[in-house]
């Protein structure tokens, strides 16, 4: 019987890994698509990204409630259908050349990834038994997430080549592929039996809100800033290099962003291997401090250019002249790779029955991935320039460091969580 349960758990784990990958695909389509619209509308470069993450603000708590009422499997199936519709609307926007339809599609896709995120994080944490092992599974799922995150901007950049207002047909095959994958995933997951670790949560009485736990409340704020950091670093770099004057700038920009996501993949894979031995808190303190150093180094090396050659099979940059800053920025991927799973793991430690509700609150604050890059691009960048806008990222990283050092400590152990 124990062997059968373990088998069922592994089916659930692999399923959650797959869903983790689709989250990144949908999210990372916003940047290259937004760059195309940005040629016609100056404000549009990060608008799709803003809509994608704004959906979390409205869907986060409902998604947590769906998890309690319908369970993990049904919530995931609903999300996959919503995702296929959202990508379809974005595809339609290119056909009819209407930016507002595109923004609607980005919003719908945001509802999808919010629901999927609400499913995979608590599910993997619970399947791993919480603690370092729970973090290990989240990091493993994050590795798959980073793989699709790596491929998406690279494929989009390769299809576009050089940005023009007529670049929409070039990215259409990628969007159609995403729709097919969503529908295929729906069919597969429909026939997979997923054990519901918290099947009776709808009957549980909640005496308090998860934010009654100080470390959870501060962790929710940390997630807001973290997602802003994760999206701001590659997307601003993508926008910066895409608008350079050399031939094939969009392709190089997409590849540079791809390197960032590839390094996130490497970082998450490494964290998966070491999380059983090295605590989440130690990892978080280290990567947040190193990330601050890297971003500051990038800010001060913008005038230094060099020829970059990268051939990683899926990522290829052939003798392109790029700023040294880009190297420091894509190296940040090694640091940000650990943060999502680390913050979630630290902030939900000891929450027990409050974990699902806390997951919904976390998803609400993922809106930071839309708000903070938008602020960086529309408010900070016009004053400071592309590189100067990264001081906002430094400030957000400073909060993550504070949370890792002090804010993550559970000082509310007296609250009943059974």
User: Which tens digit of pLDDT belongs to each residue from 119-148?
Assistant: 887 778 777 776 677 777 887 887 788 788
Q: Which of 63, 62, 52, 3 is CA-nearest to residue 23?
A: 52
Q: What span, in angstroms and rounded, lies between the C-alpha atoms of 222 and 45?
A: 25
Say if 417 falls within a structural domain: no
In angstroms, the Cα distances linking 8 to 4, 105, 121, 333 are 6, 35, 18, 33
Say if 58 falls within a structural domain: yes
User: Which tens digit of pLDDT belongs to each residue from 79-116?
Assistant: 999 999 999 998 898 888 888 888 898 899 999 988 98
What is the total residue count of the chain?
A: 418
Say if 241 falls within a structural domain: yes
Q: Which of 169, 185, 316 is CA-nearest to residue 255?
A: 316
Say if 11 falls within a structural domain: yes
Residue 357: the pLDDT is 77
Q: Which long-range contacts (CB under 8 A, 24 or more apart) does 405-411 make?
A: 405/285, 407/214, 407/215, 407/218, 407/219, 407/222, 408/215, 408/218, 408/219, 408/281, 408/284, 408/346, 408/347, 409/215, 410/213, 410/214, 410/215, 410/349, 410/350, 411/214, 411/215
Tell me the CATH number at 72: 1.20.1250.20
Residue 197: the pLDDT is 58
Q: Enter the pTM of the model.
A: 0.75
Residues 6+ apart with CB under 8 A from 293: none
Domain of residue 25 covers: 2-197+210-407
Q: What span, in angstroms and rounded, lies between the C-alpha atoms of 418 and 410?
A: 16
Say if 418 falls within a structural domain: no
- Residues linked to residue 307 through DSSP beta bridges, in sequence order: 321
Say if 147 falls within a structural domain: yes
Say if 104 falls within a structural domain: yes
- Enter the DSSP assignment of 17: H
Residue 5: the pLDDT is 43
Q: Could you identify the residue written with the tokens 């700038």?
A: 249
Low-confidence ranges of the chain (pLDDT < 70): 1-9, 30-32, 35, 38-39, 42, 44-45, 130-131, 157, 159-167, 195-206, 245, 312-315, 414-418
Say if 204 falls within a structural domain: no
Q: What span, in angstroms and rounded, lies between the C-alpha atoms of 209 and 377?
A: 35
Half-sphere exposure of 130 (CA within 13 A, CB side): 10
Residue 395: the pLDDT is 97
| Type and span of the H or E element at 310 | strand 305-311
H-helix segments, 349-390: 355-365, 368-375, 381-388
- Our count of domains for the chain comes to 1
In angstroms, the Cα distances linking 413 to 165, 215, 217, 239, 341 are 57, 11, 14, 45, 22
């Amino acid at each position: 019987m124990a062997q059968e349960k373990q088998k069922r758990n592994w089916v659930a784990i692999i399923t959650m890994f797959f869903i983790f990958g689709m989250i990144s695909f949908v999210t990372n389509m916003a940047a290259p698509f937004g760059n195309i619209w940005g040629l016609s509308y100056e404000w549009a470069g990060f608008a799709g990204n803003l809509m994608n993450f704004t959906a979390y603000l409205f869907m986060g708590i409902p998604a947590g409630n769906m998890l309690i009422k319908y369970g993990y499997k049904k919530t995931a199936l609903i999300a996959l259908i919503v995702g296929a519709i959202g990508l379809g609307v974005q595809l339609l926007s290119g056909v009819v050349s209407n930016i507002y339809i595109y923004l609607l599609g980005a919003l719908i896709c945001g509802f999808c990834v919010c629901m999927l995120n609400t499913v995979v994080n608590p599910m993997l944490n619970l399947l791993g038994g919480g603690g370092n092992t729970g973090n290990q599974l989240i990091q493993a799922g994050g590795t798959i997430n980073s793989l699709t995150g790596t491929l998406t901007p690279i494929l989009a950049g390769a299809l576009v080549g050089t940005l023009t207002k007529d670049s929409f047909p070039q990215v259409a095959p990628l969007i159609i592929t995403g729709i097919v994958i969503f529908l295929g995933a729906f069919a597969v997951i429909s026939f997979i039996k997923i054990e519901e670790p918290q099947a009776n949560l709808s009957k549980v009485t909640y005496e308090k809100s998860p934010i009654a736990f100080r470390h959870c409340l501060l962790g929710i704020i940390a997630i807001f800033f973290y997602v802003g950091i994760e999206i701001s670093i590659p997307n601003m770099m993508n926008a910066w290099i895409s608008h350079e004057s050399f031939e094939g700038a969009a392709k190089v920009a997409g590849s540079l962003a791809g390197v960032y996501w590839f390094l996130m993949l490497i970082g998450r894979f490494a964290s998966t291997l070491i999380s059983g031995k090295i605590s989440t808190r130690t990892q978080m303190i280290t990567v947040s401090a190193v990330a601050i150093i890297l971003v500051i180094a990038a800010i001060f090396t913008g005038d230094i250019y060099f020829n970059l050659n990268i051939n990683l099979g899926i990522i290829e940059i052939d003798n392109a002249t790029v700023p040294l800053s880009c190297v420091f920025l894509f190296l940040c991927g090694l640091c940000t790779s650990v943060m999502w799973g680390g913050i979630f793991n630290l902030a939900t430690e000891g929450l027990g029955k409050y974990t699902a509700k806390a997951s919904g609150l976390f998803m609400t604050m993922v809106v930071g991935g839309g708000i903070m890059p938008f602020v960086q691009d529309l408010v900070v960048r016009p004053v400071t320039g592309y590189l100067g806008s990264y001081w906002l990222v430094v400030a957000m990283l400073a909060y993550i460091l504070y949370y890792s050092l002090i804010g993550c400590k559970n000082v509310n152990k007296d609250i009943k969580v059974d």
